[in-house]
Amino acid sequence: MKTIQFREAIAEAMSEEMRRDETIYLMGEEVAEYNGAYKASKGMLDEFGDKRVIDTPISELGFAGIGIGSAMNGNRPIIEFMTFNFSLVGIDQIINNAAKMRQMSGGQFNIPIVFRGPTASAGQLAATHSQAFESWYANCPGLKVIVPSNPKDAKGLLKSAIRDDDPVIFMESEQMYGDKGEVPEGEYVIPIGVAEVKREGKDVTIVSFGKIIKEAYAAAEELEKENISCEIIDLRTIRPMDHKTILDSVKKTNRLVILEEAWPFGNIATEITYQVQSQAFDYLDAPIVKINTADTPAPYSPGLLKEWLPNSADVVKAVKKVLYK
């Protein structure tokens, strides 16, 4: 194993796949000359040249469409959005072309394309740059959605996403790019659609994904001092969702808390809640509790932002609620 930053894991995954397959290229704003807005493509222009690492104008609709068209013609593009907030400018191409082209063409075209970049909040970036759209994209048939929480998962899942023959939404975080973690030295991939139990426990199941899962880890450490044992599941892939891992855990612990950095209405936690109550209702000893952001646009004020975001204290409170403590 070696220890690298999250941004290095992303760069390694892209570079290794581009060495393996010449039809793969990276395109987006500042990915080339600037080495990426978050330095996640550092050194790639030097290695692969400007035909395969391509800087674009500020034109998400344009370069999303170019990527989809090139995928229809045998290429495997990686399209970087500086943030998924900006993907809204190109969402027509993603939803109406990338996600639907296989069906609309009667299977004549598949779209092997990855749309990647950071999601959710990243400090004081205010309302329009702090949004989580995992549930938006996961709602659309034809798209796969991945949200890793650490360098090892990021690298292994990004390699799988690039090799996949369907469009994949790959969501990162500005606040994770500097995170360090152990990554295997050799070649490896992590299959899409498989969650992982990151911490074994017996009293309550906590399901989360992305950077907010750190609050679950912190809460579990605090609760351990009170002899409360938390099992933590990292979804890693939002769609297709690994229902079995969640259900198996709930059948063991009989209690479920879901932590997600997203608005509360109609989110990923809502879907998990439905699946668990429909398939494991008799195993539940308490109502499911989901923890989300406040139901407002993200505030700019640091004091308000702190109140808006879920935190480890919220998780501790939720766990004690389902344990009737």
Q: Which of 261, 245, 247, 141 is nearest to 195 (CA)?
A: 245
Q: Per-residue pLDDT tens for 150-161?
A: 999 999 999 999
Q: In this prediction, what percent of the chain has a pLDDT beyond 70?
A: 100
Q: How confident is the model at residue 224 (pLDDT cuts 50, 70, 90)?
A: very high
Confidence at residue 134, expressed as pLDDT on a 0 to 100 scale: 97
Q: Per-residue pLDDT tens for 159-207?
A: 999 999 999 999 999 999 999 999 999 999 999 999 999 999 999 999 9
DSSP code string of 107-130: TS-----EEEEE-S--SS--GGGS
How far apart are the C-alpha atoms of 262 and 211, rounded to whole Å? 12
Confidence at residue 88, expressed as pLDDT on a 0 to 100 scale: 97
Report, as an integer, the average pLDDT of 267-279.
Answer: 98
In the chain, what are the domains? 2-183 (3.40.50.970), 196-322 (3.40.50.920)
Report, as an integer, the average pLDDT of 12-24.
Answer: 98
How far apart are the C-alpha atoms of 268 and 260, rounded to whole Å? 8
Confidence at residue 45, expressed as pLDDT on a 0 to 100 scale: 98
Q: How confident is the model at residue 228 (pLDDT cuts 50, 70, 90)?
A: very high
Segments in the chain forming alpha helices (H): 6-20, 44-48, 60-72, 91-93, 101-104, 134-138, 151-163, 213-224, 243-253, 268-279, 302-308, 312-322
147 contacts 226 by C-beta, under 8 angstroms: no
This prediction's pTM: 0.97
Q: Per-residue pLDDT tens for 276-305?
A: 999 999 999 999 999 999 999 999 999 999
Confidence at residue 22, expressed as pLDDT on a 0 to 100 scale: 98
Alpha carbon of 142 to those of 67, 111, 181, 267, 325: distances in Å? 16, 10, 32, 18, 43
Report, as an integer, the average pLDDT of 98-102.
Answer: 98
Confidence at residue 24, expressed as pLDDT on a 0 to 100 scale: 98
Point out the residues that are catalytic: 60, 129
Task: State whether residue 198 is helix, strand or coil.
Answer: strand
What is the pLDDT of the chain when averaged over all its residues?
98
How far apart are the C-alpha atoms of 319 and 289, rounded to whole Å? 8
Structure tokens at 12: 């390694």
Q: How confident is the model at residue 23 (pLDDT cuts 50, 70, 90)?
A: very high
Confidence at residue 11, expressed as pLDDT on a 0 to 100 scale: 98
Report, as an integer, the average pLDDT of 16-37.
Answer: 98
How far apart are the C-alpha atoms of 134 and 157, rounded to whole Å? 16
Task: State whether residue 55 is helix, strand or coil.
Answer: strand
